[in-house]
Amino acid sequence: MRIAIEVARLGSFTAASRELRLSAPSVSRIMGELEADLGVRLFNRTTRQLDLTDAGLEFVQKSSGILEELDNVRSVVRERHDTPRGQLRVSCVTAFGNECLAPALPEFLQRFPQLAISLELGNRFVDLIEEHYDVAIRVGPLRDSSMVAQRISSQKILFVASPAFCERFGMPKSFDEIRRYPSVTQISGEWGRIHQFRYLGEIVYFEIGQHFTMNSARAVKNACLTGYGYSLLADFMIAKDLAENRLVQLLPNYEPVDQPIYAFYPQRRHTPQKVRVFIDYLTEIFGS
């Protein structure tokens, strides 16, 4: 089956023999024996080209599915008795990657020392298959039906400012009032321009003023600490700053809407073990 698929793909017995590291006579002999066993011709051969017959096309198409299933069975059996190994390529949104994922990965690598991780932080949507990533961690819902989404955590976006800002401008009581003050905020593409809150039982929307914008949440927090303006930042970014009074929450009556954080990976009949153990670890660490 593998030889027939390669001959069909490459259009040549000789090319298939090189690809499979077999001798050309062996490939020709095996194809002859296969056609004799099936009682049909799979290839039309001329001195210049080699084409699949209708029977050959059907055989190659069905063989591809059978061989894929056999490979999956082999992988499942091997991995049940094997340690996850190899490289895991992960793409993660910047803020969550900096503050939460990066500090959690050393423990994962201690559990699975035969794995290596390559982590790229960025807010662009990557194509996992085209760019050869195993997992992508993003904020928000699934957009691609060819992906599997596993919710691992969530974030809430809070209004915050430094004590110096509050001394200078006071404590705003409403959206209308806070819009009059300078802001320093993260905007990345379309993300960060509008946020949802619950107020008096209804969903309300706040469009951020663009007085001072950056594409890095960490940079926004550092600028906010100077007292220049208020910010909208994820709760995991500022929990310690709130606890130690370096930042103050504003508009506490406006309840932020939870934003789910998902781990995405390609849909496959058989998910690689290194991906499975990584998703399980993320759920364990961040699920609570």
Distance of CA 256 to the CA centre of its chain: 25
Mean pLDDT of 13-23: 91
What pLDDT does 161 receive?
Answer: 96
Helix (H), strand (E) counts: the chain:
11, 15
As assigned by CATH, the class of the 86-153+260-286 domain is: alpha beta
In sequence order, the 6+-apart residues with CB closer than 8 A to the CB of 273 are: 79, 82, 84
The pair of structure tokens assigned to 214 is 């950056």
Quick: pLDDT tens for 133-174.
999 999 876 676 678 889 999 999 999 999 999 999 999 999
Q: Where are the domains of the chain?
A: 2-80, 86-153+260-286, 157-257
Under a CB-based contact definition with an 8 Å cutoff, are residues 209 and 218 in contact? no
156 burial level (CB within 10 Å; 0-12, 13-18, 19+): middle
Helix axes 2-10, 13-20, angle to 10 degrees: 130
Taking only the tens place, the pLDDT of each residue in 217-234 is 999 999 999 999 999 999
pTM: 0.67
* CATH code of domain 2-80: 1.10.10.10
Q: How confident is the model at residue 190 (pLDDT cuts 50, 70, 90)?
A: low
Considering just the CA atoms, what is the radius of gyration of the chain in Å? 28
CA distance 60 to 2: 9
| pLDDT for 270 | 72
Residue 36's pLDDT band (cuts 50, 70, 90): very high
In this prediction, residue 215 carries a pLDDT of 85
From 209, 206, 183, select the one nearest 196 (Cα to Cα).
206
pLDDT at 188 over 80: no
Task: Examine the pLDDT at 80 and tell me if it is beyond 80.
Answer: no
Q: How large is the average pLDDT for residues 257-267?
A: 90
Mean pLDDT of the chain: 89
pLDDT at 81: 58
Half-sphere exposure of 159 (CA within 13 A, CB side): 30
Residues in contact with 153: Cβ distance below 8 Å, sequence separation at least 6, in sequence order: 96, 100, 260, 261, 282, 286, 287
Q: Read off the pLDDT of each residue in 264-272 and give the average, rounded to a whole number.
A: 81
Please give the average per-residue pLDDT across 249-266, as a whole number. Answer: 93
Dihedral pair phi/psi, residue 11, rounded to 5°: 70, 25
Query: Who has greater pLDDT, 246 or 86?
Result: 246
Residue 265: pLDDT band (50, 70, 90) is: very high
Other CB atoms within a 10 A radius of the CB of residue 263 amount to 23
Give the H/E segment covering residue 139: strand 135-139
Average pLDDT of 31-37? 93
Please identify, in words, the CATH class of the domain defined by 157-257.
alpha beta
Residue 266 confidence (pLDDT): 87
Q: What is the pLDDT of residue 125?
A: 83
pLDDT at 79: 64
Asked if the domains at 86-153+260-286 and 157-257 fall in one CATH topology, the answer is yes
